[in-house]
Each structure stands twice: as C-alpha cells, then as structure tokens.
Amino acid sequence: MGIGGIPDAVYESMDGNLELGIHTEVISDRAMRAIQRGVVTGNQMSLHQGKVIISFALGSEELYSLLNNNPLIECHPVDYVNDPFIISQNENMVAINSAIELDLTGQVCSDSVGPYI
C-alpha cells in the first residue's frame, strides 16, 4: 500500500494481531500506526521475514523516529522494492493501490489530474 485516502482507510480498519507484512515503496503515518497496534509484524512474510520493507518514508517526525535504527525496518533501493521478481517471492501478496481515473481499456492514472500532480 502506498499513501492516500484508500490505503489510509485500509490501515485504519485493520485490528488485532494479523501478523501482516509491509513491502512498499513508501511508508506513511498510517502504516506506522498499524505497526504500533501490532497489526504488522512481518512474521508471515516469505522474503525478509519479520521485517517491513520500504524505499522511503513520507510522514511526521514520529514516523521518522520510529524508523530510526529500528530493526523491524529495512530500507532498500526502489529498483529492488518495486521489482516484480522480488515482490513475487512473497506468498499471499496483496497490493492495494488507489487511482484517480480509470479508462475503459483498464489504463490507470494515479498521480495527476490534467497538469496537476
């Protein structure tokens, strides 16, 4: 999951010890809260078991404090994190992405409306 209203709502709706893993390009405050609530442990991940895999963070000072020297978090280059071969090594992987527009052929616009990013 990335950032935005849909991923945030999903993170907020999760409760209990689900032992989920995170393998994402960007981690946010809502992901941090899921980690703090024990929803995310990484224990069920096939690759990098017991870890949260990210490329970068976008959020509050509290998020950056959580990431600082945290053995649960591993930061890798984006070409690794977003590599379909790497991603496919995790069993039961689910991706949740939001979109701004979707056309009849299935093309998705998720980063801009007209000229505005």
pLDDT of residue 88: 93
In a domain? residue 29:
yes
- For residue 63, the domain's CATH number is 3.30.750.70
pTM score above 0.85: no
Distance CA 67, CA 100 (A): 30
Residue 35 domain boundaries: 5-109
Q: How confident is the model at residue 109 (pLDDT cuts 50, 70, 90)?
A: confident
Catalytic residue among 12, 25, 61, 91: 25
Contact 87, 93 (CB under 8 A): yes
Check if 25 is active-site. yes
115 domain residue, yes or no = no
> Percent of the chain beyond pLDDT 90?
61
Residue 22 has a pLDDT of 93
Q: Distance (Å, rounded) from C-alpha 85 to C-alpha 43?
A: 21
In a domain, residue 57? The reply is yes
Q: Examine residue 116 and state whether it is found in any structural domain, yes or no.
A: no
What is the token pair recorded at 52?
Answer: 């949260």
Q: Is the pLDDT of residue 116 over 80?
A: no
Q: Looking at the 3D structure of the chain, how many domains does it have?
A: 1
The first and second tokens of residue 36, run together, are: 């703090």
> Does the residue 33 lie in any domain?
yes
- Rounded Cα distance, 24 and 52, in Å: 8
